[in-house]
């Protein structure tokens, strides 16, 4: 089955690479229209997925990720229309010039070819990835979580209908519907057809892909994000940022998971933090030094487990640790961070500069929430993933990250001397 899907995707990618921006936008507009006009089928499939997920005991956070509503589906359709308005990077000349040999050389953006994406219980990812791939002339093979297979199948059926009505092969966007995990292992070795693989899931999935894939893998999406509160931070603005970073949408990968508070401000800051976190219904997981200053406050506080420094809560839970100084904070981030998003709250320019230069994450912030690590917020329009590695892309991956380039040399019967 996967061999046939791979061959169909590769064949489709050759046709997609030749499309003009107008032709690609026409397909995207039709997909957006069909997502709305055929929403009943998609929502019914989603209800069935939700029923099974509840029977299987999925958490409320996971159910929220899985659930579609008419409003959410309309938002997804509007996101596709937004992709239409984005500049098409394909065909863009990056640089070039006339060489001494007389050869005119340029570097031009081209599609990657076929992109494979493995993801979990987020049905919006199906449409996000499909639309971004189509905009950049790439074919896509999607493998969503078993919790969403009905939703994904119904959504891809709509996308394929739009493709065929625009004269394009349905193989341009395909979904693996079977929940058989053996198919994932088979997918990881389809380097004959797939040019880049993007896993969007937990640490186990990323480890599997790094170790087993024969395809170049973009890893990311795991966010053990930190906020450092140094001894010059102002309490009220700092609390406002922390509340946003923790509570605006706790189930996302750019949510703060660990707060590192300078010992010099801890006596005044932590009691104020307790009051604010009690209002926000956040449970604090404190180290011994923080516990001593938090246990009299109104917020629920429990001792932190060492392994919690390395895990995502994705819920209204927050680690709190008192650090001796900025060196201590940076050392903690280096040991426990995932190179996703980390921030410092400070009024000291030298500390801000040190943090920016010494914290090796894909996004670092000064006096701002980690929740900004997002393709839309960064002005990229959309994203296919957040990469925490350094090749071939880093941070939110927009349209340019779904392209590569080729060198084009134009001569006048030019030969090498």
pLDDT digits (tens, 9 = 90+) for 113-167: 999 999 877 888 999 999 999 999 999 999 998 899 999 999 999 999 999 999 9
d(CA 396, CA 384): 8
| 221 pLDDT higher than 80 | no
Q: What does the alpha-carbon distance between residue 104 and residue 236 come to, in Å, rounded to a whole number?
A: 59
* CA dist., res. 354 & res. 342, Å (int): 13
| 174 three-class SS | strand
Which pLDDT score, from 0 to 100, does residue 300 have? Answer: 97
Q: What is the pLDDT of residue 240?
A: 98
The predicted pLDDT at position 180 comes to 86
Report pLDDT for 364: 98
The whole-model pTM stands at: 0.90
Higher pLDDT, 160 or 375: 160
> Nearest to residue 73, comparing CAs of 123, 28, 24?
123
C-alpha dihedral (337, 342, 346, 352), degrees to nearest 10: 90
Report which DSSP code applies to 375: T
Q: Beta partners for 90?
A: none
Q: Quickly list DSSP for 273-290.
A: HHHHHHHTTPEEEE-HHH
- Please check the confidence at residue 336 and state whether its pLDDT lies above 80: yes
Q: How far apart are CA 302 and CA 293, in angstroms?
A: 12
């Amino acid at each position: 089955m996967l061999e046939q899907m791979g061959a169909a995707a590769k064949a489709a990618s050759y046709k997609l690479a030749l499309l003009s921006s107008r032709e690609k936008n026409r397909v995207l507009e039709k997909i957006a229209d069909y997502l709305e006009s055929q929403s009943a089928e998609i929502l019914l499939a989603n209800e069935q997925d939700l029923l099974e997920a509840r029977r299987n005991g999925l958490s409320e956070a996971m159910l929220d990720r899985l659930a579609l509503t008419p409003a959410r589906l309309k938002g997804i359709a509007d996101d596709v229309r937004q992709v239409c308005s984005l500049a098409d990077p394909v065909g863009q000349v990056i640089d070039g010039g006339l060489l001494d040999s007389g050869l005119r050389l340029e570097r031009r953006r081209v599609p990657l070819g076929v992109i494979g994406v493995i993801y979990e219980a987020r049905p919006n990812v199906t449409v996000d990835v499909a639309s971004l791939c189509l905009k950049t002339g790439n074919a896509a093979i999607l493998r969503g979580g078993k919790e969403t297979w009905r939703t994904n199948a119904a959504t891809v059926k709509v996308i394929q209908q739009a493709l065929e009505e625009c004269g394009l092969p349905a193989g341009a966007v395909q979904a693996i519907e079977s929940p058989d995990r053996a198919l994932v292992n088979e997918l990881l070795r389809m380097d004959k057809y797939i040019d880049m693989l993007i896993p969007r899931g937990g640490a186990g999935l990323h480890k599997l892909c790094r170790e087993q894939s024969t395809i170049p893998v973009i890893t990311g999406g795991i966010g053990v994000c930190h906020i450092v509160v140094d001894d010059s931070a102002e309490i009220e603005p700092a609390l406002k940022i922390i509340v946003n970073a923790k509570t605006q949408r706790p189930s996302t990968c750019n949510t703060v998971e660990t707060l590192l508070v300078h010992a010099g401000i801890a006596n005044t800051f932590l009691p104020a933090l307790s009051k604010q976190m009690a209002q926000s219904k956040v449970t604090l997981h404190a180290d011994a030094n923080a516990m001593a200053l938090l246990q009299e406050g109104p917020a629920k506080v429990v001792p932190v487990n060492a392994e919690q420094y390395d895990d995502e809560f994705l819920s209204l839970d927050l680690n709190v640790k008192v650090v001796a100084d900025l060196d201590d904070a940076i050392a903690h981030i280096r040991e426990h961070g995932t190179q996703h998003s980390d921030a410092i709250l400070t009024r000291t320019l030298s500390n801000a500069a040190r943090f920016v230069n010494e914290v090796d994450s894909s996004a670092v912030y000064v006096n701002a929430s980690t929740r900004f690590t997002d393709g839309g917020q960064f002005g990229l329009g959309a994203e296919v993933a957040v990469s925490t590695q350094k090749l071939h892309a880093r941070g939110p991956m927009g349209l340019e990250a779904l392209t590569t380039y080729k060198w084009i040399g134009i001569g006048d019967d030019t030969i090498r001397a």
